[in-house]
């Protein structure tokens, strides 16, 4: 592994069932994440994916590629646009630095051509 290498992408269609399960795991039961009527009353096209779920997918992509012994010591990300129930996200990552005991990466989460989030991570190997 070297700087410039791409990690295998992770694609996931996020359903309302996924969002309800995530809400249960994180204790974030805001109705905007699963109730179509609430989100539409707010002028949105449907339930909004909890933004923290995008960070969880970035972490999943890292561990899937680097293995269960890898330990994420830093993960930051910034939201660029909303993601809605039923949309498919694609997580892409590129290695930016490789040290003796760590790897650093830059991340991008997209829905089609739309960028939903960008971020970076550092992983101890």
* Tens digits of residue pLDDT in 39-92: 999 999 999 999 899 999 999 999 999 998 999 999 999 999 999 999 999 999
CB 70 within 8 A of CB 63: yes
CB 111 within 8 A of CB 87: yes
Kindly report the number of other CB atoms within 10 A of residue 46's CB atom: 16
Give residue-wise pLDDT tens across range 2-50.
Answer: 999 999 999 999 999 998 888 888 888 888 888 899 999 999 999 999 9
pLDDT at position 33 is 87
pLDDT at position 63 is 96
CB 23 within 8 A of CB 35: no
For each of the domains in the chain, give its residue range(s) and CATH number, in order of start.
10-15+49-124 (3.10.129.10)
Whole-structure pTM over 0.75, yes or no? yes
The span from the CA of 125 to the CA of 119, in Å, is 19
Kindly report the number of other CB atoms within 10 A of residue 81's CB atom: 11
């Amino acid at each position: 592994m070297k700087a410039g290498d791409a990690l295998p992408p992770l694609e996931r269609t996020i359903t309302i069932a996924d969002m309800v399960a995530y809400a249960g795991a994180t204790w974030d039961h805001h109705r905007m994440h699963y109730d179509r009527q609430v989100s539409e009353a707010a002028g949105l096209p449907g339930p909004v994916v909890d933004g923290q779920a995008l960070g969880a997918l970035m972490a999943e992509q890292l561990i899937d590629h680097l293995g269960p012994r890898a330990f994420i010591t830093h993960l930051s990300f910034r939201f660029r646009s909303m993601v809605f129930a039923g949309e498919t996200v694609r997580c892409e990552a590129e290695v930016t630095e490789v040290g003796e005991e760590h790897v650093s990466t830059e991340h991008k989460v997209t829905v089609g051509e739309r960028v939903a989030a960008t971020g970076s991570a550092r992983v101890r190997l």
